Structure 1
Amino acid sequence: MADFRDRAGGVENAHYEQQYLDLMQRIWREGDERRDRTGIGTRSVFGASLRFDMADGAMPLLTTKRVYWKTATREMLWFLTGDTNIRPLVLQGVKIWNEWPHARYVKEAGEDIALDEFVQRIAEDETFAQRWGDLGPVYGKQWVDWPTYRYRKDGLFEPGEGINQVAEVVESLRSNPGSRRHIIEGWNVAELDRMALPPCHKTYQFHVAGDRLNCLLYQRSCDVALGLPFNLWSAALLARMIAQQVDLEPGELVWMGGDTHLYLNHQHLIEEQLSREPRGHPTLAIKRRPPTIFDYRIEDFEVRDYTPQGPIKAPVAV
């Protein structure tokens, strides 16, 4: 195992990114090596936490490698539409969900088609996309259209009106800021087997302290090298959008991980990233306040003072 130099975790004036690097190093050095559903293998710890102050536009955007924040932002805006088909993402050049429907197509259709060719067909053929581009009731579907059922007189159930959890949280923050029920939940047990991937970032809870809005994200499973940089940005972005909508200042982002892991085939990424030093303090400006939380556009967001080091590529485990 590579012997990385010790880092000054916990120092009061340490760069905000240091805690992420410390977590990565701890997992790689001390994590339990285990098999996982992908067959690749991981090193894992259980129960981790990170905290970031979002005052004055600060965001937990990693600088030791480039994080494509516009891609993560487009994904978050897609979640808020409730859509579950990858085609809108594909048409925007967002690739992060492509592997799952491609794997399903190869398995069920029996056609050994290359990923790039599959994605091209999704973009060009709307009928093909409707059949093969859907991910099942993932994230956004649960966030804005959580299914309900009505009991009929004949003893059967029929679909009821879906619950828009995001809209309800926005309203409850306005009308009852002291509530302990400001929660957006993605873990719908009844529908897990229909999802391409059960939600990893599953529970968001919001907390009002004075004029500041805090957000806690709990992840049941976290790929620290590839997934967590996106998850941190996305959670902070959602908190910033909601804070703007309810006339509060951004507070603290608290991140908590259950099975928090690094994949064994990401060693080159880990070693390279841990050899780099964090630099700079990027900020996010939201240039417009749209009518609702569902009306933001990619053009509404501007990141300033972001001068990251280069990207580090690694394969996604499917």
Structure 2
Amino acid sequence: MESATSQLDYAYLDLMRRIWTQGDERVDRTGIGTRSIFGTMLRCDLADGAMPLVTTKRVYWKTATRELLWFLTGDTNIRPLVLQGVKIWNEWPHARYVRESGDPISLEDFVARIAEDEAFADRWGDLGPVYGKQWVDWPTYRYRKDGLYEPGEGINQVAEVVESLRTNPGSRRHIIEGWNVAQLGAMALPPCHKSYQFHVGDGKLNCALYQRSCDVALGLPFNLWSAALLTRMMAQQTDLEPGELVWMGGDTHLYLNHAELIEEQLGREPVGRPTLAIMRKPPSIFDYRMEDFEVSGYTPHAPIKAPVAV
């Protein structure tokens, strides 16, 4: 019998193949073009340490983990990621800098300056109120007697969900939402993985993630890992067993310039069953560190590089 992880691996390849062979070809925001289908689902059982870690190419799970931990700090500046060698958000502030300053600096030199010059990073490294801001400091406003509004205390959605899972596990309101309509225009990129809902059943914590837009070749392996990891962390913090991750995609697509990646990956067979152990239980959901996570049994195929569409 196939493990839960290998089943996910095959389901991921089936989804990729279906989009590539049957998807509607269309012009997208980036101008590159995609093949797309709408309304998709993948499921993964997280019991016994299983994780949806794709094996048909190497997924840099430590990079995805560092990004998740960064989200949980509420920070929206790329500098903490840059200092850890995480490159996945660099293109957006670089493009903005070149556009607004007129300086045709290379991406490599821009990132080096972000690392070296804190004032430069403060000015040009911020992404706007993206994921972390909405997760742990959703803005509120108070109505004043003079008829104006002023900022109120931010809402920490993550902390509230942890508390509600502990005190009211049967609730249908265990939700972390990233889609703040009032602030979309200020974000470098509106949230793709936008809505997380948690559900407790039979002593297990399940998570359903809705992703409005999904780059299946580059983004989805990261998204699956991060959502499963967040679920594992939430389960540990609330003394529940990990249950099932249900991933749901809206516009689920492949970029036309990823053809070489896609065709090579579709020719590979899943291998192994990676598992995750969390080495300690920190005081809160916000206190995890990289060294708390240990992956075993991950012997994937070689990485496949492809350009990011900005």
Scaled by the length of structure 2, the TM-score of the pair is 0.98
Question: By how many angstroms is 1:14 displaced?
Answer: 6.4
> Structure 2 counterpart of 1:75, which letter?
E
Query: Do residues 282 (structure 1) and 274 (structure 2) align?
Result: yes
Matches within 5 A, 1:242-253: 242-253=234-245
Contact 2:6 2:270 in 1 (8 A): no
Partner of 1:34: 26
Question: By how many angstroms is 1:265 displaced?
Answer: 0.2
Question: By how many angstroms is 1:258 displaced?
Answer: 0.2
Partner of 1:5: none
Query: Do residues 312 (structure 1) and 275 (structure 2) align?
Result: no
Question: By how many angstroms is 1:174 displaced?
Answer: 0.2
Residues 234, 198 of structure 1: alpha-carbon distance in 2 compared, 3 angstrom cutoff: same
Contact 1:43 1:264 in 2 (8 A): yes
Q: 1:260 aligns with which of 252, 262, 277?
A: 252
Query: Secondary structure in 2 aligned to 1:15?
Result: helix
Whole-angstrom CA distance in 2 between matches of 1:295 and 1:14: 31
Residues 11, 251 of structure 1: alpha-carbon distance in 2 compared, 3 angstrom cutoff: closer
Partner of 2:56: 64
Partner of 1:7: none
Partner of 1:146: 138
Q: 2:179 aligns with which of 170, 181, 187?
A: 187
Whole-angstrom CA distance in 1 between matches of 2:3 and 2:186: 45
Question: By how many angstroms is 1:13 displaced?
Answer: 11
Whole-angstrom CA distance in 2 between matches of 1:162 and 1:307: 43
Contact 1:86 1:133 in 2 (8 A): yes
Contact 2:4 2:50 in 1 (8 A): no
Contact 1:15 1:278 in 2 (8 A): no
Whole-angstrom CA distance in 1 between matches of 2:5 and 2:94: 45
Partner of 1:169: 161
Residues 270, 292 of structure 1: alpha-carbon distance in 2 compared, 3 angstrom cutoff: same
Partner of 1:160: 152
Contact 2:83 2:115 in 1 (8 A): yes
Partner of 1:203: 195
Question: By how many angstroms is 1:11 displaced?
Answer: 12
Residues 244, 14 of structure 1: alpha-carbon distance in 2 compared, 3 angstrom cutoff: closer
> Structure 2 counterpart of 1:223, which letter?
D
Long gaps (5+) in structure 2? none
Contact 2:5 2:273 in 1 (8 A): no
Contact 2:3 2:273 in 1 (8 A): no
Whole-angstrom CA distance in 2 between matches of 1:93 and 1:184: 28
Q: Encode CA deviations 1:254-291: one digit per residue, 9 max, x unaligned.
A: 00000000000000000000000001110000001000
Q: 1:111 aligns with which of 103, 110, 123?
A: 103
Whole-angstrom CA distance in 2 between matches of 1:246 and 1:278: 33
Query: Secondary structure in 2 aligned to 1:16?
Result: helix
Runs of 4+ that moved beyond 6 A:
10-14
Query: Do residues 80 (structure 1) and 89 (structure 2) align?
Result: no
Fraction of identical pairs, as percent:
81
Query: Secondary structure in 2 aligned to 1:294?
Result: coil
Aligned residues, how many? 309
> Structure 1 counterpart of 2:120, which letter?
F
Partner of 1:25: 17
Query: Do residues 237 (structure 1) and 229 (structure 2) align?
Result: yes
Contact 1:148 1:161 in 2 (8 A): yes
Partner of 1:225: 217
Whole-angstrom CA distance in 2 between matches of 1:209 and 1:64: 32
Partner of 2:290: 298
Q: 2:113 aligns with which of 115, 121, 142?
A: 121
Partner of 1:134: 126
Contact 2:4 2:44 in 1 (8 A): no
Question: By how many angstroms is 1:251 displaced?
Answer: 0.3
> Structure 2 counterpart of 1:147, which letter?
P
Scaled by the length of structure 1, the TM-score of the pair is 0.96
Question: By how many angstroms is 1:15 displaced?
Answer: 2.9
Whole-angstrom CA distance in 1 between matches of 2:3 and 2:255: 28
Long gaps (5+) in structure 1? 1-9
Question: By how many angstroms is 1:210 displaced?
Answer: 1.2
Whole-angstrom CA distance in 2 between matches of 1:13 and 1:164: 32
